[in-house]
Amino acid sequence: MALKRGGASGVGIGRGRSGGSRLALVVLVFFCVLSPLVFFFGRGLHTGDDNASNGSGTENIDWRERMALQHLSSLFSKEVLDVITANIDDSNPLSLDSFRKSNMSASWKIDGSEASFDNKPKVSADNMKQQTPKGMVTESSDEQSKFVDSPAKLARRQLREKRRLKRAAELVQQDEEVTVKLENAAIERSKSVDSAVLGKYSIWRKENENENTDSTLRFMRDQMIMARVYLTIAKMKNKLDLYQELQTRIKESQRALGEASGDADLHHSAPERIKAMGQVLSKAREQLYDCKLVTGKLRAMLQTADEQVRSLKRQSTFLSQLAAKTIPNAIHCLSMRLTIEYYLLPPEKRKFPQRENLENRDLYHYALFSDNVLAASVVVNSTIMNAKDPSKHVFHLVTDKLNYGAMNMWFLLNPPGKATIHVENVDEFKWLNSSYCPVLRQLESAAMKEYYFKADHPTTLSSGSSNLKYRNPKYLSMLNHLRFYLPQVYPKLDKILFLDDDIVVQKDLTGLWSVNLHGKVNGAVETCGESFHRFDKYLNFSNPHIARNFDPNACGWAYGMNMFDLKEWKKRDITGIYHKWQNMNEDRVLWKLGTLPPGLITFYGLTHPLDKSWHVLGLGYNPSVDRSDIDNAAVVHYNGNMKPWLELAMTKYRPYWTKYIKYDHPYLRTCNLSN
C-alpha cells in the first residue's frame, strides 16, 4: 500500500510540479553524466575570459559554445540544453566559473594529508582524484600539490636546501683559501727576489748610486713605460696619428729626464712634459686600451728588461774583473820610466846597503811578493813610518823580470830610512822549475792554456763564466804561489811575516814576533764570522778526498798578513803537503785556481788564530766595514777587486792608502799620478 501510495503521490507530484521534476532530472544528469563536459566548457570559458583582453576571448567562447551545443543537440531535448546553457553563464551561482572563483578565494586548512575549504565539507585527496577525469588537468592542481606534500617530502626539501647552502659556503671558503695561498706564495716569491741593485760595477760607491727616491722622476719614467706600451699597440692597430704623437712625447720626456738622478736634476720643462704626456696617455687609453694587449706588452717589456739586466750584470762582472787585472796607465808609465833609469845606472850604484842584515835572525823580516811598484812602496813606507825602531826591520821583495829594474830603482831613489831592503827576481830562482813545482807544470799544460787562452772555450771571459775571477793573471804568476816556498827562498831565517801588496800597516808590528804559535806553522786572523768563509766555500766536498780529510765547517783564515814559523815548516814538510794536494788537483776537481784553497788544505790543523785587531779585511769589496775596526787595526787589507790604486776603489777607504804616497814626487807628476 505504501508503495502504491507512494507511486500515486509521485505521479501527482510529477503532474503538479512538472518544472521541479524537470529541474531535479537535469541536476542529476549534470552531476552524474555531464559534469566532465561542463567542466571542460567552464575551463574553456575561463580561458576565454583570460584572453578577452587581447580581443580573442569572445570569439573563443562563442566557438566553444556552438560546438558543444551542436554535439549535445542530438542527445538531449531542448529543455535539457537550456538548463546547461544557464549553468554555463557566469551570472548563475551554479556555474562552474562561479564555483572555481569561490574555490580560489577560499582559504586552505592543512591537517595531515587532507585539505578542506572553510565552511565546506572536507574532501580527501583520493576522492578529488576520483572526481577528476583521467588526463584532465585543473588550474589549481600545481598549487594543490604544493600544499599537500607530506612531512617527509617537506623534510627532504629542507635537507636539500641545507645541503645546497652548505656546499655554497664550502665553495666560497675554498675560494678564499686559494686566494690566501696565492697571496702568500706571491709574498714569498717577492722575498726571494734578489733586491741588490744590478748593473753597477761598484754598488757601494756613493757617486754611482741612483736610488731614484724622488717622486717626479719616478712618475716620468712610469709615464714613459706606458707610452711605449701604447706606442706598440697604436702601430699594431694602424693609429698612425696617435703613434706619431706618442713618439714625440716620449722624445720630449727623454730630453727632460736627461741624466737626472733626482727631482733636483730634472730640466725646468719637466712639469710641462708630464702634463703633455698625461694628455696623450689619456687619449691613448680611450682609443687603444685592451687589457690583454697591455698585459702582454708589459710582460714582454719585463722579460726584455730582465735579459738586459742579466747581460749588463755579466758585462759589469767582466769589466770589473778586467779592471782589477790591469795596471793603470800611470803606474805602467812609472814602472817603465824607473826601469829605463835603472839600467842607465852603472852596476856599482845598483846595490842596496846593509846587506849583512838579510840573514840576521835577530831582526824582523818581511816577505813581500809584488809586480806593482806603487803598491809595494805603500806597504814598505807604512810599515817603516809606524815602526818604533825602523833599523830592525828587513824587507825581502821579490818581483818578476819585467818590474825588477823599476822596483830596484824606486827604493834606490826613495830608501826606507834605516830599514834594510832587498829586491830579487823570481825568474832567477833556478830551483823553481816545472819538474819541482806542480803549479808550473800545470800552467805549461795544454789543458791549462786552453782554459785561459782559447776564445771559443765555453768558459772563457767573453762567455761570462761564473768562475771569471779565477782567470786573473796573478794565478798564472809564480809570485802568487811563491808563498808556499818560503823556507827555500829564505833558508837561513826562522820566522818571517808575509805581507800582501794590497795592505796598509797602521801600527808597529814587532809584537807579532813574540806571539806564541803553540807549535803551529801559520799565525793568521780567522775569517769565519760568516758562514761563507768556512771550508765548504772554497773546497769541493763532493770529492771523497776532500770529504774524508777536512771538516766543511772548519774556520777559514786570511792570507795577507801571516806569521810563518819556518823551523816548524821544515819539520812538518809543509811544501811537500802542498805538492801532494796540488798534484791531486791537476784537473781542478778539488778546488778552483787560487792560493787560499790550497793554503787552507796545507795548513789545516797547523794555523794559530791571531787577534782580529791585527788584521782587518774587506776594504776592497765590503762597504760596511766598521770605522772603529779600521782605525784600531794594525793592518788593513784591500782584498777584493776594488784595489786602492784603481779608479773603481771605494772612495771612503782610499785615504788610508793614499796618505803614504808622495804625489809631488817628480816621477809621479811625470806620469800624471794624482790623488
Question: What letter does residue 258 receive in the DSSP assignment?
Answer: T
* Cα gap 645→590, rounded to integer Å: 33
Among 272-276, 299-303, 405-409, 483-487, the range scoring the smallest mean pLDDT is 299-303
Residue 609 β-bridge partners: 524
| Burial class of residue 496, CB neighbours in 10 A (0-12, 13-18, 19+) | buried
* Cα gap 675→671, rounded to integer Å: 13
Average pLDDT over residues 539-552: 91
Residue 459 confidence (pLDDT) above 80: no
| pLDDT reported for residue 187 | 65
**Who wins on pLDDT, 464 or 385?**
385
Q: Can you read off the three cell numbers belonging to residue 459?
A: 768558459
Q: Is 403 helix (H, G, I), strand (E, B) or coil?
A: coil
pLDDT class for 37, splitting at 50, 70, 90?
low
User: Which conformational region is residue 618 in: left (phi greater than 0), alpha (psi within -120 to 50 degrees), or beta?
Assistant: left
The segment(s) of the chain belonging to CATH 3.90.550.10 are: 329-454+471-671
Q: What DSSP string describes 150-207?
A: -HHHHHHHHHHHHHHHHHHHHHHHHHHHHHHHHHHHHHHHHHHS--SPPS-S-TT-GG
Residue 660 β-bridge partners: none
Give me the chain's average pLDDT, please. Answer: 77
The amino acid that residue 19 corresponds to is G
563 membership: H or E segment, kind and range: strand 561-565
pLDDT digits (tens, 9 = 90+) for 236-283: 888 888 999 999 999 888 888 887 777 887 888 888 989 999 999 999
Residues belonging to the chain = 675
Most confident of 7-16, 584-593, 613-622: 613-622
Residue 197 confidence (pLDDT) above 80: no
| pLDDT reported for residue 15 | 42
Residue 123 β-bridge partners: 115
Q: Can you read off the three cell numbers belonging to residue 428?
A: 832567477
Dihedral angle sign, alpha carbons of residues 118, 121, 127, 128: negative
Residue 153 confidence (pLDDT) above 50: yes
Q: What is the pTM of this model?
A: 0.57
Q: Tell me how crowded residue 450 is: count the other CB atoms within 10 A of its CB.
A: 13
Average pLDDT over residues 116-121: 42
Residue 438 makes CB contacts below 8 A (sequence gap 6+) with: 579, 582, 583, 586
* Cα gap 490→603, rounded to integer Å: 19
| pLDDT reported for residue 633 | 95
Dihedral angle sign, alpha carbons of residues 212, 217, 221, 223: positive
* Cα gap 204→596, rounded to integer Å: 25
Residue 396's nearest CA partner among 493, 317, 473 is 493
Among 174-188, 254-268, 444-458, the range scoring the smallest mean pLDDT is 444-458
**Who wins on pLDDT, 326 or 481?**
481
Q: Can you read off the three cell numbers belonging to residue 221?
A: 719614467
Query: What residue spans of 386-504 are helical by DSSP H?
Result: 404-413, 438-443, 446-453, 478-481, 486-489
Q: How many CA atoms lie within 13 A of 148 on its CB side?
A: 16
Kindly provide the b/e burial profile for residues 456-486, where b requires at least 16 CB atoms within 10 angstroms of the residue's own CB: eeeebbeeebeebbbbbeebeebbbbbbbbb
Q: At what angle do helices 35-50 and 96-105 cross, to 10 degrees?
A: 70
| pLDDT reported for residue 608 | 95
Most confident of 288-292, 363-367, 622-626: 363-367
Q: Tell me how crowded residue 270 is: count the other CB atoms within 10 A of its CB.
A: 22
Among 83-97, 109-123, 203-217, 276-290, the range scoring the smallest mean pLDDT is 109-123
* Cα gap 642→652, rounded to integer Å: 12
Residue 200 confidence (pLDDT) above 70: no
* Cα gap 491→323, rounded to integer Å: 37
Q: Is 116 helix (H, G, I), strand (E, B) or coil?
A: strand
Residue 26 makes CB contacts below 8 A (sequence gap 6+) with: 79, 80, 83, 84
Residue 325's nearest CA partner among 477, 533, 455 is 477
* Cα gap 380→497, rounded to integer Å: 13
pLDDT class for 58, splitting at 50, 70, 90?
very low
Residue 448 makes CB contacts below 8 A (sequence gap 6+) with: 442
The hierarchical CATH code for the domain 329-454+471-671 is 3.90.550.10
pLDDT digits (tens, 9 = 90+) for 412-423: 999 998 999 999
| pLDDT reported for residue 628 | 93
Residue 531 confidence (pLDDT) above 80: no
Intra-chain end-to-end CA distance of the chain, in Å? 158
Residue 595 confidence (pLDDT) above 90: no
**What are the distances in angstroms from CA 618 to CA 204, 531, 548, 560, 623?**
12, 15, 31, 11, 8
Among 5-14, 59-68, 368-377, the range scoring the smallest mean pLDDT is 5-14
pLDDT class for 289, splitting at 50, 70, 90?
confident
Percent of the chain with pLDDT over 90: 37
Q: Can you read off the three cell numbers belonging to residue 94?
A: 551554479
| pLDDT reported for residue 428 | 93
Average pLDDT over residues 388-408: 95
